[in-house]
Chain A
Amino acid sequence: MASLTLKNIKKIYPFSSDEQKKAKKKKDDEPEKKQVNLQITDEGVVAVQEFSLDIADKEFIVLVGPSGCGKSTTLRMIAGLEDISGGELYIGDKLVNDVAPKDRDIAMVFQNYALYPHMTVYENLAFALKLRRIPKDEIDIKVREAATVLDIMQYLDRKPKALSGGQRQRVAIGRYIVREPQVMLMDEPLSNLDAKLRNQMRAEIIKLRNTIDTTFIYVTHDQTEAMTLGDRIVIMKDGFIQQIGTPQVVFNHPYNIFVATFIGTPQMNLFENAELLKNNGRYSVKLGDYTVELSEDKQAALSAKNVAAQPVTLGVRPEHISLSAGGIDAKVDVTEMMGSSVHLHVDAFGQDVILIVSTLNMTQKELDSLNHGTDVRFDFPGNVCHLFSKETGINLEA
């Protein structure tokens, strides 16, 4: 159990000499192309930069972002598996930049579990303790305790090959429970499981978290996992932190367009043709012919920053849009029946807009009427509008 402090952490993968020559030649020959997701400087490829974060003792932090955003690299730097190119990493009060992984008292669950294939489950669980020369009977007690917690007692004699994905996952977690590390790192531990098992294991990780008191840092690209597991979420893109906050804050007050569209499924609708109006100090937003006055908290936030009237990118989550008698004209494109709700893709202003319509109070006839080509109208209240600057993509309230 320990707090963690990351101060301005940076990771640059230097070029090998061959690559450097190639890069140099390229520079001379042609204008440099920017590669997707990667920032390339003279020093090398920048994977993570300006990463600063304070993690409290026993907090559950989730790093989330698309692939190549630097989340796994950050985790591996914390574990000591990657060198830190710049900045400071503290575990507790101790600066650990140059401390060997084994001396950091950190455990890590790998995406592919990294179970030792030639050892039985028991030996896998006992391995770290054996290396520490802990007496055999003590190891035995700890292994059996962990196996009981994770419900893998009956598999202790098996080799990992003979276990299912979920069972392997438990063994991988068990390997770290026995060690009682200060910090537990998890690198996409559920991504190799099928959807059903993933949901089940997610619930188990929440339970596990209540049983073992330790600091968790969890990496995933799945925003549902991030939302359900994290005390706080760190959203990353291209090596930079985009926003840090509780799931609620990140969902309700996304800092920029990237966060807004990354968190939440189906993703937030964005309207490029919206306009923020200011009349007598009151803010409203205009989309086509539809105008809605913003809620009081948004009025206050915008007034405090003295935001001027301007064209904006308007974001509205599908669950916050409803079919209505008035409002914006649209044509139904596709209907996705989800059971308790319908995901309605409609065409408005020549773009695809998604609405989530609850089927709870709808008759079959009403449902059937939502066919391709049907004319509908939708609207949304003023408290669910997210306004982003056209220039920077940053939330105007932030």
Chain B
Amino acid sequence: MKGKKKKFNISTLWQYYAMLVPGVVLTFIFSYIPLYGVIIAFEKYNVGMGFNSPWVGLENFRYLFSQPTFTRTIWNTLFISVWKLALGIIVPVTIAVLLNEMRSDKLKRFYQTLIYIPNFLSWIIMAGVLMDILSSTGAINTILAKLGMGTVNFLGDAKVFPWTMIVSDVWKGFGYGTIVYLAALLGIDPSLYESAMLDGATRWQQIKNITIPLLMPTIILMTVLSLGSVLNAGFDQVYNLYSPAVWETGDIIDTYVYRLGIQQAQYSVGAAVGLFKSLVSAIMVVTSYRLADKLAGYRIL
């Protein structure tokens, strides 16, 4: 809030601060104290010695950046998440605009519910479903074969795997985005459409000249805010669906950290990757927040 700052007065405001205390304490215990563990990224960690393991400075990072697998995971992560981001905007906006044009409210509600359902299923369940329908004898391949297009190894072909991730993620999540954009569409003054109708605009011209431009602030906001999570390409999804055959294109930072740290017990290197990702993400979050403020006037405080 700009303008005069209110004088801090603990005698009248203490109840509010008291309500804040549990949250602050829990955040401190569970989010800040574990941060101490970050030091293992700078040590040659040994389970027996714990945090007192030998200090190696940036050696783990040097090792990491010299690994071709690491640069590969960064590229994979960016490829998958940027496409998810782009399609995660285009698809919901399109569907929202189409739903908004529907005359029957009943059908509209029906479709809205239908496309929102996958959003509630966890990736564990979704992975099971996908493995089934994408298998060589699954529904999709059966149809493709019947159409004479041959079968596709959606989960085992390194070229196809990232796209399987992108499309299935968009499919699972676009219902949520659609509802956000539908809400934004509801906020558009209906008299603008009536006015445009009298001005001689066709349905398509109304969408092009009124709906899309007025939806733009919401689109920008959603995009910019999701920039902060651009290095999260979807651990749950990829981990449950990938296999060594597709590591080349499907291994993302999170799965790499998991394999390195937990499965191969290279705790220090795993921690270094995690720290690197967190730093980049933090910078992205701050940048995207600034951008959101600048482009869409979005502010939390």
Interface residues of A (CB under 8 A from B): 79-81, 100-102, 106-108, 110-112, 114, 116-118, 127-128, 131-132, 175, 179
Contact = CB atoms under 8 A, between A and B. Distances in A.
A131 B195 contact: no
B195 A114 contact: yes
A184 B209 CA distance: 23
Interface in B190-218: 191-192, 194-201, 205, 209-210, 213-214, 216
B194 A128 contact: no
Given A110-B191, A112-B191, A79 B210 contact: no
B1 to A, nearest CB: 22
Given A102-B199, A102-B201, A127-B199, A117 B214 contact: yes
Given A114-B189, A116-B195, A175-B199, 20 more contacts: A79-B198, A80-B198, A81-B194, A81-B197, A81-B198, A102-B197, A102-B198, A102-B199, A102-B200, A106-B198, A108-B198, A110-B191, A110-B195, A114-B194, A116-B210, A117-B214, A118-B213, A127-B209, A128-B200, A131-B199
Given A116-B209, A116-B210, A117-B214, A108 B201 contact: no
Contact of A131 (B192, B194, B205): B205
A79 to B, nearest CB: 6
B296 to A, nearest CB: 13
22 contacts: A79-B198, A80-B197, A81-B194, A81-B198, A101-B197, A102-B199, A106-B198, A108-B195, A108-B198, A110-B194, A110-B195, A112-B191, A114-B189, A116-B196, A117-B214, A118-B214, A128-B199, A128-B200, A131-B199, A131-B201, A131-B205, A132-B200
Given A127-B209, A131-B205, A116 B192 contact: yes
Interface of B: 189, 191-192, 194-201, 205, 209-210, 213-214, 216
A179 B198 CA distance: 11
Binding site secondary structure of chain B: helix
Given A116-B192, A131-B205, A101 B198 contact: yes
Contacts of B213: 118
A81 B209 CA distance: 19
B198 A107 contact: yes
Contacts of A106: 198
Contacts of B214: 117-118
Contacts of A128: 199-200
Contacts of A101: 194, 197-198
Nearest to B192: A114
A108 B214 CA distance: 22
A108 B195 CA distance: 7
Contacts of A116: 192, 195-196, 209-210
Contacts of B198: 79-81, 101-102, 106-108
A271 B108 CA distance: 57
Which interface residue of B196, B199, B209 has the most chain A CB atoms within 10 A?
A: B199
A192 to B, nearest CB: 12
A107 B194 CA distance: 11
A81 B191 CA distance: 10
B200 A114 contact: no
B217 to A, nearest CB: 9
A100 B201 CA distance: 11
A79 B194 CA distance: 9
A107 B195 CA distance: 8
A107 B199 CA distance: 7
A106 B195 CA distance: 11
Contacts of B200: 102, 128, 131-132
A124 to B, nearest CB: 10
Contacts of A100: 197
Contacts of B194: 79, 81, 101, 108, 110, 114
Contacts of B191: 110-112, 114
Nearest to A128: B199
Which 4 pairs, one residue from A and one from B, show the smallest C-beta to C-beta distance? A128-B199, A114-B195, A114-B191, A102-B200
B37 to A, nearest CB: 49
B189 A112 contact: yes
Contacts of B201: 102, 131
A143 to B, nearest CB: 14
B4 to A, nearest CB: 26
A75 to B, nearest CB: 11
Nearest to B106: A17
Contacts of A179: 199
A13 to B, nearest CB: 15
A160 to B, nearest CB: 11
A138 to B, nearest CB: 16
A180 to B, nearest CB: 13
A171 to B, nearest CB: 12
B208 to A, nearest CB: 11
A320 to B, nearest CB: 42
Nearest to B205: A131
Contacts of A80: 197-198
A102 to B, nearest CB: 4
Nearest to B188: A117
A344 to B, nearest CB: 44
Contacts of B199: 102, 127-128, 131, 175, 179
Nearest to A127: B199
A388 B90 CA distance: 67
A97 B52 CA distance: 87
Nearest to A132: B200
A119 to B, nearest CB: 8
Contacts of A112: 189, 191
Nearest to A110: B191
A89 to B, nearest CB: 15
Nearest to A81: B194
A223 B209 CA distance: 37
With a 10 A CB-CB cut-off, give which of B189, B195, B198, B201 has the most chain A CB atoms: B198
A81 B196 CA distance: 11
Contacts of A118: 213-214, 216
A132 to B, nearest CB: 6
Contacts of A114: 189, 191-192, 194-195
B214 to A, nearest CB: 6
A128 B195 CA distance: 10
